[in-house]
Amino acid sequence: MPYLVLADGAVFRGEAFGAWPGERAQTDPLRSGEVVFNTSMSGYQEMVTDLSYAGQILVLTHPQIGNYGWHDEESEAGKVLLHGLVVKELAAGEGSRHADGSLAAFCAQHNIRGLSGVDTRALTRHIRRHGTLPGILCQDLSEGLAWLNRGQAEWPGLSPQRHWVYMATVSEPYEISGEGPLLAVLDFGAKLNILRALQQRGMRLKVFPAWTGAAEILRHRPAGLVLSNGPGDPGGLPEIAANLAELLPRLPILGICLGHQLLALAAGGATYKLPFGHRGGNHPVQDLRSGAATMTAQNHGYAVDAESLRPTGFEVAWRNLNDGTVEGMRHKSYPVLSVQYHPEGAPGPEENCTVWDEFLSWL
């Protein structure tokens, strides 16, 4: 019987699906990761393939998952770095219209360990009370508890030698054709729908690996720069923040999610870890310039410290109406803005297209 064991000793039992030992030879006996939850009611395909979940165990609060099967065209990346998926009721789904297969089959194929039959709302309440916790997916409870007693430093796969961004990014640059101006995209684990949104607006794109230096980007003479979403702690990427500091006064820039956080660090601001993050498709955000409120899609565990922005040249432009955290910035002198939420809304609402419009008006 498989289990999820949390770092505080809480145990949740369920039924196995996906890639467990005995089903795929390369799987480890134990699979660890930061346990996080998402409150979206649909979009499990986009979430499973979102590289911002690299190394994490994702809990979906909606009670039935997998009911419309798996559609390959809905994937948000060509690779998968999610460690585990926890659901209440797993639907077969492969018989749904135009489905290429089932969620369970996709998880088995891409080395994702799944656990169904779990009271995911009770698990979510536990995380909300105690904060985001590391956890281990295991078949042998005694073995999982033994690892718990050894301390998190020895948990398999919890702390990669390199930052998750370097596993999520592309290995070499590539170009996407378009009739409009050339945009550079720094890929920290970019969702494909960000690229699709720019393509739909006619942009020509040059996508660069996360480690690409400022001089190499500027050599291509792009009209602007987009900084993508991505996984992990932005504070663990000082070399990228230093690179962005060189680019900040040189190009119109749009930062999204991790890109937003790294822009703040590049300007001298600070970030901090949220108690349990923002992950879902119904987070209300207010534009401080117009006063308008919109619903946004979000997936992040860190936030920008508002007070730290005072000497940076950035001002807070959007606020989260649930907890007041920074949801976006504009620079006072340069054509630079950033948002913590996802204007491409995959999954989630698509009512924040003005972000694209404002950025593209500077090109």
pLDDT at 143: 85
Question: Among candidates 178, 243, 236, 235, which has minimal Cα distance to 208?
Answer: 243
Q: For residue 307, give every residue at least 6 positions away whose Cβ sits within 8 Å of its Cβ, in sequence order, or none.
A: none
Which of 296, 221, 218 minimizes the C-alpha distance to 260?
296
Quick one: pLDDT at residue 144? 86
Torsion sign, CA atoms 141, 144, 146, 151: negative
Active site residue 172: no
Active site residue 344: yes
CA dihedral 215, 316, 332, 346 (to 10 degrees): 50
**Which one of the listed residues 62, 163, 260, 342 is annotated catalytic?**
342
The strand order across the sheet containing 56-60 reads 11-13, 3-6, 133-138, 30-38, 56-60, 84-86, 113-116, 15-18
Q: Provide the sign of the torsion angle of the four alpha carbons 127, 297, 80, 217, taken in this order.
A: negative
pTM value is 0.95
Catalytic residue status for 342: yes
d(CA 74, CA 328): 27
Catalytic residue among 76, 257, 260, 300: 257
What is the full DSSP assignment across 67-110? TT-B-GGG-S-SS----EEE-SEE---TTSTT--B-HHHHHHHT
Structure tokens at 167: 């596993």
Please report the domains of the chain, with CATH numbers, ordered by start residue.
3-154 (3.50.30.20), 164-360 (3.40.50.880)
Residue pLDDT tens, the chain, 363 long: 899 999 999 999 999 999 998 644 455 678 899 999 999 999 999 999 999 999 999 999 999 999 999 999 899 999 999 999 999 999 987 667 788 999 999 999 999 999 999 999 999 999 999 999 999 999 989 988 888 887 776 677 677 889 999 999 999 999 999 999 999 999 999 999 999 999 999 999 999 999 999 999 999 999 999 999 999 999 999 999 999 999 999 999 999 999 999 999 999 999 999 999 999 999 999 999 999 999 999 999 999 999 999 999 999 999 999 999 999 999 999 999 999 999 999 899 989 999 999 999 999
**Structural contact between residues 341 and 327, judged by C-beta atoms closer than 8 angstroms:** yes
What pLDDT is stored for residue 25 in this prediction? 40
Is residue 138 within 8 Å of 5, Cβ to Cβ?
Answer: yes
Note whether 23 and 31 are within 8 A (CB).
no
CB proximity list for 294: less than 8 A, separation 6 or greater = 284, 285, 287, 349, 351, 352
